[in-house]
C-alpha cells in the first residue's frame, strides 16, 4: 500500500483545514468589526459573488428595459404593444455574429415582444420577492424577538399564533391570499390601488403569511442569547429592555435572520411564479414569469422560445439568490473553520515543497 | 412521557380549531361564489343563483356556517359511527367520498417519488460528504442548487416534451445510432470516473470500462430492438443478483464476513430457481399476492442468514434479506417487461406508452400486469419531476449532517482503535447522521398528504391538490376544509412522531414532561 488510505487523507485534510482556519482567523480578523469580517468573508466566496453579479445585472435589465414606477424604459417595445410578426416571431438575436435584432427573444402569437414581456415579468417577480423578504423578515424578527425575549404569556400567545399559521401549508394559504389580492370587482378602498398595483398587493399579502418560519428561528436565537453573560451585564448596568434587544441581542441574531430571509426570498420567487401559473397570482393583461409559462406551454412544439426565456429567468434569479444565501451563511457562521477549499489545498502543496509564508496562501483570493 | 403526549395532543386540537376557523373564513371571503351567474345572460339566472345559494347556504353568515360545518365534522371523531359529515362540494358530491378518491390518487403519485428522492438524496449526500471538496462534491452541490431553483411546472413541460413525446417517437423505431450510443457511454463513463475518486489510474480504468460496457449494451439493445421487447431472463438476473449480493454484503457487513457473503449468494441462487417456479403463479398475480410474496422473500432471506450462522448472525440475516428483496424485485421487473409488448400494442395505448397527463388510460382492459404497467407509465413523468425538485434538500441536509458527524471525536476514536473505514462510516457515522434526517423525513411525510398541488395540476391528476384548488376557484369552502383537515392532522401527528422519534433515537435529547 504505497498510496495513503482514505482515512489518512481525511485526517490530514482536517488537520490542515484547522491549521489554515486558525491561521486565517488570527491573521485577518484582528481589529475588524463583525460587519467587516462578514463582508470580507462574503467577498471571498466566488459562488456568492457570481450570484450577486448575475442578480444585479438582471435587476438593472428588468427595471430599466421596459420602465418602472411610471418612468419610460430604453427598450422600444412595451409588454402590451402589438407589432407585426418578424420572421414568424422567431428570436432575432444571435450570439455569433453577435446581434440584438428587432425582437431578441422573439414574439408571441399576436406579435407582442417577448423581451419586453420577460423583463416585465422579471420586474414583477423581483418586486414580489423583495416585498416578501422585507415584510416577512420584519414581522418574523419582531414576533420571534418578542417571544424569545419576554417569554411567559407573550411567548405563549405569539407562538400559538405561529403554530396556527404554520400548519396551513404555505401554498394553500398563499392561494387564498392571492385570490383575495386579485379581487377587483368591489369598490372598496383597496380595489383602486389593487387594480393598478396587483403585484404589490400580492407581495404584501404573501409577506404577511410567510414570516412564521423566520419567527421560530429568531425566537430560538433569542432564547439562547438572552441567557448569555453580556445580556446579564447590560441588565445589571441598568439598560432598558429596548436597548438590550436592539443593541445587544439583535446584532448577534442578525446573521440567522439575514441568511433565512435570503432563503425565504428564493422560495418566494418560486411561490409567486407557481401561483401565477395556477392562475391565483398575477392576472393578465399584466404579466409575470409564471403566467408567461402557463400561457405558452401549449405552444412548446411551435414556439419553444416563448417557453425557454421566462423559465431561464426564473432559474437565473432563483439560483443567484440561492448562491448569495449560501455565501451569506458561510460568512455569518462564526463556527466555520474553512470556507475556501482551495487555500487549504494550496497550503498543503506550498508547505511540502517551498518555504512560502503560509499566511500568504491562506489570505490569497 | 404520557403527560407530554397528552399535552401535545390537546394543544394540537386547539391549534387545529383556530386554524380551521381561519381557513374557513378566508376561503368564504375570498370571492363571490355567484360571480359566474351574475355575468351570465341565461334566462334562468335567478333560479341558478338561488340553487347555488341554497347549496352553499350563503344566507347564513360565514362564521356561523363554520360552526355548522364543525358540527358535522365533529361527528367524524365518533369511532365506527359512520356519521362523518364534511358537507358536499359544488357538484353535490359528499366531501368524505371525494377525499377518499383524491387521497388514493395523491398517495400513488407522491409515495414512490418521495421514497426514491429520500433514498437517492441520502446516498448522494453521504457520498459527497465523504468526498468533500472533490469534483463530485462541487458538481452535486451545483446540481442541488439548480434543482432547488427549478419551477416544477417548467420541468414538467420539458419532461412531457422530451421524456414522453420524444421517447414515444423513439419507440416507434428503437434504433440507437452508433454515435449516440458512444456519446451516452462516454457521459456515463465520465460520471463513473468522477464518482469513483482516488488515483487517476483507477478513475481511468473504471471510467473506460463503464464506457465500453454501456456502449456495447446500447449497441445490443439497438440491434435486438430491446426497447420493443424488453426482458431480463434468468442469466441476467443471476449476474445482476450476484452483483447485488456482493454490493449489499460490502455495505452491511464487509466482505470479510464470509458467512454473510455466502448467504447472500445462496439467496440469489434461490431467486433464480424461484424465477422459473413462480412464472405460472405470477401470471395470476394480484396486488395482495405481490405484497405477500415480497414479505415471504424477505423471510426466506432472513431464514437463510439465520441458518448460515457465523460469528454475527444478525449481519448475515440483514445482508441476505436485503439481497432477497432486491432479487425478488428483479423478477417482478422481468415479469413487467414480459407484459410490455402486449401493453405496447394495446388498442388503447397504440404504441405511445409514456403518458403525459392523467392517472390511467381510460377504459383500458387487461390483466394485473397490463393495468399496473398502465399506472406506472402514467406515474413516470410526475415521479421524475417530483424527485428532481425534492432531491436537493435531502442531499444538502445529509451532506452537512454527515460532515458534522465525521468531524466528531468518537469517529477519531473509532478509527484509532483500528476499525475498518466501512464500519466507521456505516456503523458509527451514518447511523448518527441519520438521526436528524429521520425527523426531516417525518415532517415531509406529514406534508405529503397535501399533495403536490402544482404537479397534480400540470399532470391532470385529480388528487388532494386538485380538490383544494378547485374548491378555492369556486369559492366553495367544503372541499378546501376537507383537504385542510387531512393535511393539518397528518402534519401534526407526524410532527409529534418526529419529536418522539428524535428522543428515542438520540438519548441526549430528553422530552420535557
pLDDT tens for each residue of A46-68: 888 999 999 999 999 888 887 77
Q: Do B149 and A318 touch (CB under 8 A)?
A: yes
For A35, half-sphere exposure in the C-beta direction (CA atoms, 13 angstrom radius) is: 1
Distance of CA B355 to the CA centre of its chain: 19
Measure the CA–CA gap between B38 and B35, rounded to whole angstroms.
5
| CA of B84 vs chain A CAs: smallest distance (Å) | 22
Per-residue pLDDT at A194: 57
From the list B32, B152, B469, which residue is nearest A175 (CB)? B469
Asked if residues B184 and B214 have their Cβ atoms less than 8 Å apart, the reply is yes
Asked if residues B361 and B349 have their Cβ atoms less than 8 Å apart, the reply is yes
- Rounded mean pLDDT of A122-126? 89
- Rg, chain B, Cα only: 27
Please list every residue in chain B whose beta carbon sits closer than 8 Å to the beta carbon of residue A160: 11, 14-15, 18
Helices (H), B423-512: 431-448, 453-458, 464-473, 477-505
Q: Tell me the pTM.
A: 0.82
Please tell me which residue of chain B has the smallest CA distance to A341. Answer: B133
From the list B22, B151, B421, which residue is nearest A7 (CB)? B421
Q: How far is CA B238 from CA B44, B234, B235, B242, B405, in A?
A: 71, 6, 5, 6, 38
Please list every residue in chain B whose beta carbon sits closer than 8 Å to the beta carbon of residue A277: 151, 153, 454
Measure the CA–CA gap between A164 and B488, rounded to whole angstroms.
10
Please tell me which residue of chain B has the smallest CA distance to A308. Answer: B154
| CA of B16 vs chain A CAs: smallest distance (Å) | 7
Helices (H), B309-449: 313-344, 368-406, 409-416, 421-422, 431-448
Q: Is the pLDDT of residue A106 over 80?
A: no
Please list every residue in chain A whose beta carbon sits closer than 8 Å to the beta carbon of residue B148: 266, 318, 322
From the list B22, B146, B412, which residue is nearest A319 (CB)? B146
Q: Which residue has the cell 419576554?
A: A150
> How buried is B83 (Cβ within 10 angstroms: 0-12 exposed, 13-18 middle, 19+ buried)?
exposed
Listing DSSP states for A53-65 in one string gives HHHHHHHHHHHHH
Residue A150 CB neighbours (<10 A) = 15
Please list every residue in chain A whose beta carbon sits closer than 8 Å to the beta carbon of residue B407: 14
Per-residue pLDDT at B241: 93
Please list every residue in chain B whose beta carbon sits closer than 8 Å to the beta carbon of residue A323: 145
Q: Do B454 and A323 touch (CB under 8 A)?
A: no
Q: In degrees, to the nearest 5, what angle opens at C-alpha A154 toward C-alphas A150 and A160?
A: 130
Please list every residue in chain B whose beta carbon sits closer than 8 Å to the beta carbon of residue A291: none
Helix (H, G, I), strand (E, B) or coil at A187: coil
Measure the CA–CA gap between B210 and A158, rounded to whole angstroms.
58
Asked if residues A314 and A273 have their Cβ atoms less than 8 Å apart, the reply is yes
Q: Do B23 and A176 touch (CB under 8 A)?
A: yes
From the list A164, A279, A323, which residue is nearest B18 (CB)? A164
Considering A129-138, A205-214, B31-40, the range whose residues carry the highest mean pLDDT is A129-138
Please tell me which residue of chain B has the smallest CA distance to A171. Answer: B453
Helix (H, G, I), strand (E, B) or coil at A256: helix
- Rg, chain A, Cα only: 25
Q: How far is CA B465 from CA A317, B160, B355, B383, in A?
A: 27, 20, 20, 16
Residue B23 CB neighbours (<10 A) = 24
Q: Do B154 and A160 touch (CB under 8 A)?
A: no
Per-residue pLDDT at B80: 65
Q: Do A311 and B151 touch (CB under 8 A)?
A: yes
| CA of B453 vs chain A CAs: smallest distance (Å) | 8
From the list B22, B421, B453, which residue is nearest A171 (CB)? B453
From the list B35, B153, B450, which residue is nearest A274 (CB)? B153
From the list B153, B450, B472, which residue is nearest A277 (CB)? B153
| CA of B112 vs chain A CAs: smallest distance (Å) | 21
Q: Do B149 and A315 touch (CB under 8 A)?
A: yes
Q: Which residue has the cell 428515542?
A: B504
CB within 8 A of B214, min separation 6: which ones? B184, B185, B188, B189
CB within 8 A of A301, min separation 6: which ones? B161
- For residue B253, give the C-alpha cell: 457487513
Please tell me which residue of chain B has the smallest CA distance to A174. Answer: B26
Please tell me which residue of chain B has the smallest CA distance to A270. Answer: B151
From the list A14, A314, A341, which residue is nearest B154 (CB)? A314
If we measure between CA atoms, which residue out of A23, A29, A15 comes closest to residue A331? A29
Q: Is the pLDDT of residue A6 over 60?
A: no
From the list A167, A278, A311, which residue is nearest B491 (CB)? A167
Counting every residue, how long is chain A?
Answer: 365
If we measure between CA atoms, which residue out of B192, B202, B322, B302 comes closest to residue B251? B322
Per-residue pLDDT at A4: 43
A275-333: per-residue pLDDT in tens?
888 877 777 777 888 888 888 877 777 778 888 888 899 999 999 998 998 888 888 87
From the list A273, A278, A307, which residue is nearest B157 (CB)? A307
Q: Residue B69: which H helix or E strand, with range? A: helix B62-74
Please list every residue in chain A whose beta carbon sits closer than 8 Å to the beta carbon of residue B157: 293, 297, 300, 307
If we measure between CA atoms, which residue out of A260, A255, A258 comes closest to residue A333? A255
Please list every residue in chain A whose beta carbon sits closer than 8 Å to the beta carbon of residue B30: 176, 179-180, 183
Q: Which residues of chain B have pLDDT under 70?
A: 79-83, 450-451, 509-513
Residue B474 has φ and ψ, to the nearest 5°, of -95, 10
Query: Could you check whether the bond before residue A97 is cis, i.e. omega within 30 degrees of 0?
Result: yes
Please list every residue in chain A whose beta carbon sits closer than 8 Å to the beta carbon of residue B463: none
Asked if residues B114 and B444 have their Cβ atoms less than 8 Å apart, the reply is yes
Of the pLDDT bands very low, low, confident and very high (cuts 50, 70, 90), residue A14 is low
Q: How far is CA B186 from CA B197, B201, B225, B313, in A?
A: 17, 17, 22, 42
For chain A, the first-to-last Cα distance in angstroms comes to 36
Q: Do A5 and B421 touch (CB under 8 A)?
A: yes
Measure the CA–CA gap between B479 and B483, rounded to whole angstroms.
6
| CA of B232 vs chain A CAs: smallest distance (Å) | 36
A232-288: per-residue pLDDT in tens?
999 999 999 999 998 889 888 888 888 889 888 988 888 888 888 887 777 777 788
Measure the CA–CA gap between B344 and B170, rounded to whole angstroms.
13
Please tell me which residue of chain B has the smallest CA distance to A319. Answer: B149
Q: Do A172 and B454 touch (CB under 8 A)?
A: no
Measure the CA–CA gap between A262 and A132, rounded to whole angstroms.
10
Q: Residue B177: which H helix or E strand, with range? A: none
Least-confidence region, from A16-20, A147-151, B384-388, B427-431: A16-20
Measure the CA–CA gap between B505 and B434, rounded to whole angstroms.
9
| CA of A322 vs chain B CAs: smallest distance (Å) | 7
Measure the CA–CA gap between A201 and A190, rounded to whole angstroms.
9
Measure the CA–CA gap between A32 and B177, rounded to whole angstroms.
62
Task: Answer left, alpha or beta for residue B115, where phi above 0 means left and psi between -120 and 50 means alpha.
Answer: alpha
Measure the CA–CA gap between A337 and A25, rounded to whole angstroms.
9
Q: Do B149 and A314 touch (CB under 8 A)?
A: yes
Helices (H), chain A: 6-28, 34-43, 46-65, 114-150, 152-166, 170-181, 189-196, 198-209, 212-225, 229-236, 241-243, 250-278, 289-296, 305-332, 341-353, 358-363
Q: Do B154 and A169 touch (CB under 8 A)?
A: no
Q: Do B157 and A293 touch (CB under 8 A)?
A: yes
Helix (H, G, I), strand (E, B) or coil at B94: strand
Q: Do B19 and A301 touch (CB under 8 A)?
A: no
Is the reported ipTM for this assembly greater than 0.85? no
Per-residue pLDDT at A97: 66
Please tell me which residue of chain B has the smallest CA distance to A183. Answer: B31
Asked if residues B472 and A175 have their Cβ atoms less than 8 Å apart, the reply is yes
Per-residue pLDDT at A26: 43
B10-51: per-residue pLDDT in tens?
988 898 888 888 888 888 877 777 777 777 777 777 887 887
Listing DSSP states for A288-316 in one string gives -HHHHHHHHGGGGTT-THHHHHHHHHHHH
- For residue A62, give the C-alpha cell: 428588468
User: Which DSSP symbol is given to B356?
Assistant: S
Q: Is the pLDDT of residue A79 over 70?
A: yes
Please tell me which residue of chain A has the smallest CA distance to B446. Answer: A167
Measure the CA–CA gap between B487 and B445, rounded to whole angstroms.
10
Asked if residues B377 and B354 have their Cβ atoms less than 8 Å apart, the reply is yes
Amino acid at each position: 500500500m504505497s498510496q495513503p488510505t482514505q482515512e489518512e487523507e481525511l485526517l490530514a485534510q482536517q488537520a490542515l483545514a484547522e491549521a489554515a482556519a486558525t491561521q486565517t482567523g488570527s491573521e485577518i480578523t484582528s481589529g475588524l468589526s463583525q460587519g467587516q469580517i462578514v463582508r470580507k468573508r462574503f467577498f471571498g466566496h466566488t459562488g456568492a459573488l457570481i450570484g450577486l453579479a448575475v442578480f444585479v445585472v438582471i435587476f438593472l435589465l428588468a427595471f430599466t428595459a421596459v420602465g418602472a414606477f411610471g418612468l419610460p424604459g430604453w427598450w422600444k417595445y412595451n409588454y402590451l404593444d402589438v407589432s407585426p410578426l418578424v420572421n414568424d416571431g422567431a428570436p432575432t438575436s444571435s450570439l455569433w455574429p453577435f446581434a440584438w435584432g428587432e425582437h431578441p427573444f422573439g414574439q408571441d402569437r399576436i406579435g407582442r415582444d417577448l423581451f419586453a414581456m420577460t423583463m416585465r415579468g422579471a420586474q414583477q417577480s423581483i418586486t414580489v420577492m423583495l416585498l416578501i423578504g422585507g415584510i416577512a423578515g420584519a414581522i418574523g424578527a419582531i414576533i420571534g424577538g418578542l417571544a424569545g425575549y419576554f417569554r411567559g404569556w407573550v411567548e405563549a400567545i405569539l407562538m400559538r399564533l405561529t403554530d396556527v399559521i404554520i400548519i396551513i401549508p404555505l401554498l394553500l394559504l398563499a392561494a387564498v391570499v392571492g385570490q383575495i389580492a386579485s379581487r377587483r370587482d368591489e369598490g372598496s378602498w383597496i380595489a383602486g390601488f389593487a387594480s393598478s398595483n396587483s403585484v404589490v398587493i400580492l407581495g404584501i399579502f404573501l409577506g404577511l403569511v410567510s414570516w412564521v418560519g423566520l419567527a421560530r428561528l429568531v425566537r430560538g436565537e433569542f432564547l439562547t442569547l438572552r441567557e448569555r453573560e453580556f445580556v446579564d451585564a447590560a441588565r445589571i448596568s441598568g439598560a432598558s429592555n429596548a436597548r438590550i434587544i436592539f443593541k445587544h441581542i439583535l446584532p448577534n441574531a442578525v446573521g440567522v435572520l439575514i441568511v433565512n430571509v435570503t432563503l425565504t426570498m428564493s422560495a418566494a420567487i418560486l411561490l409567486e411564479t407557481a401561483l401565477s401559473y395556477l392562475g391565483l397570482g398575477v392576472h393578465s393583461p399584466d404579466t409575470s414569469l409564471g403566467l408567461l409559462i402557463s400561457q405558452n406551454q401549449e405552444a412548446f412544439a411551435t414556439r419553444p422560445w416563448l417557453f425557454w426565456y421566462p423559465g431561464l429567468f426564473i432559474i437565473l434569479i432563483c439560483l443567484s439568490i440561492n448562491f448569495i444565501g449560501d455565501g451569506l451563511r458561510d460568512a455569518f457562521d462564526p463556527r466555520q473553520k474553512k470556507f475556501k477549499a482551495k487555500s487549504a489545498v494550496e497550503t498543503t502543496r506550498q508547505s511540502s515543497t517551498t518555504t512560502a509564508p503560509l499566511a500568504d496562501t491562506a489570505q490569497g483570493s | 412521557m404520557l403527560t407530554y403526549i397528552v399535552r401535545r395532543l390537546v394543544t394540537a386540537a386547539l391549534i387545529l380549531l383556530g386554524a380551521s376557523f381561519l381557513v374557513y373564513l378566508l376561503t368564504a371571503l375570498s370571492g363571490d361564489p355567484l360571480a359566474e351567474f351574475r355575468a351570465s345572460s341565461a334566462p334562468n339566472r335567478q333560479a341558478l343563483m338561488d340553487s347555488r345559494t341554497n347549496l352553499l347556504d350563503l344566507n347564513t353568515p360565514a362564521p356561523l356556517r363554520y360552526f355548522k360545518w364543525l358540527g358535522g365534522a365533529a361527528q367524524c371523531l365518533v369511532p365506527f359511527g359512520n356519521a362523518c359529515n364534511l358537507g358536499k362540494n359544488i357538484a353535490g358530491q359528499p366531501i368524505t367520498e371525494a377525499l377518499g378518491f383524491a387521497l388514493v390518487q395523491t398517495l400513488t403519485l407522491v409515495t414512490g417519488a418521495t421514497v426514491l428522492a429520500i433514498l437517492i438524496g441520502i446516498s448522494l449526500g453521504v457520498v459527497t460528504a465523504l468526498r468533500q471538496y472533490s469534483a463530485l462534491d462541487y458538481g452535486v452541490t451545483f446540481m442541488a442548487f439548480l434543482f432547488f431553483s427549478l419551477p416544477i411546472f417548467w420541468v414538467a413541460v420539458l419532461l412531457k416534451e422530451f421524456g414522453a413525446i420524444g421517447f414515444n417517437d423513439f419507440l416507434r423505431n428503437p434504433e440507437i445510432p452508433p454515435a449516440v450510443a458512444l456519446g451516452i457511454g462516454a457521459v456515463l463513463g465520465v460520471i463513473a470516473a468522477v464518482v469513483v475518486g482516488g488515483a487517476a489510474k483507477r478513475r481511468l480504468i473504471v471510467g473506460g470500462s463503464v464506457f465500453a460496457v454501456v456502449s456495447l449494451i446500447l449497441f445490443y439493445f439497438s440491434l435486438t430492438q430491446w426497447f420493443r421487447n424488453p426482458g431480463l431472463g434468468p442469466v441476467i438476473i443471476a449476474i445482476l443478483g450476484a452483483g447485488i449480493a456482493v454490493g449489499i454484503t460490502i455495505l452491511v457487513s464487509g466482505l470479510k464476513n464470509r458467512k454473510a457473503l455466502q448467504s447472500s449468494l445462496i439467496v440469489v441462487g434461490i431467486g433464480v430457481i424461484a424465477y422459473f417456479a413462480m412464472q405460472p403463479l405470477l401470471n395470476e398475480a394480484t396486488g395482495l399476492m405481490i405484497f405477500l410474496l415480497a414479505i415471504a422473500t424477505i423471510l426466506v432471506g432472513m431464514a437463510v442468514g439465520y441458518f448460515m450462522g457465523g460469528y454475527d448472525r444478525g449481519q448475515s440475516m440483514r445482508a441476505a434479506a436485503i439481497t432477497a428483496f432486491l432479487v425478488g424485485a428483479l423478477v417482478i421487473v422481468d415479469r413487467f417487461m414480459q407484459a410490455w409488448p402486449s401493453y405496447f400494442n394495446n388498442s388503447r395505448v397504440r404504441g405511445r406508452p409514456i403518458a403525459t397527463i392523467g392517472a390511467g388510460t381510460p377504459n383500458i382492459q387487461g390483466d394485473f400486469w397490463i393495468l399496473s404497467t398502465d399506472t406506472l407509465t402514467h406515474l413516470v413523468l410526475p415521479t421524475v419531476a417530483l424527485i428532481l425538485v425534492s432531491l436537493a434538500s435531502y442531499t444538502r441536509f445529509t451532506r452537512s449532517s454527515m460532515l458534522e458527524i465525521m468531524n466528531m471525536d468518537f469517529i477519531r476514536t473509532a478509527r484509532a482503535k483500528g476499525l475498518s473505514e466501512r464500519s466507521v462510516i456505516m456503523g458509527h457515522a451514518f447511523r448518527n447522521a441519520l438521526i436528524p434526517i429521520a425527523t426531516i423525513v417525518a415532517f415531509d411525510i406529514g406534508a405529503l398528504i397535501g399533495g403536490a398541488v402544482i404537479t397534480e395540476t400540470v399532470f391532470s391528476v385529480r388528487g388532494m391538490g386538485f380538490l383544494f384548488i378547485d374548491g378555492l376557484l369556486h369559492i366553495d369552502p367544503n372541499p378546501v376544509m376537507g383537504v385542510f383537515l387531512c393535511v393539518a392532522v397528518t402534519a401534526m401527528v407526524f410532527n409529534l412522531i418526529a419529536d418522539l422519534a428524535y428522543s428515542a433515537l438520540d438519548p441526549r435529547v430528553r422530552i420535557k414532561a
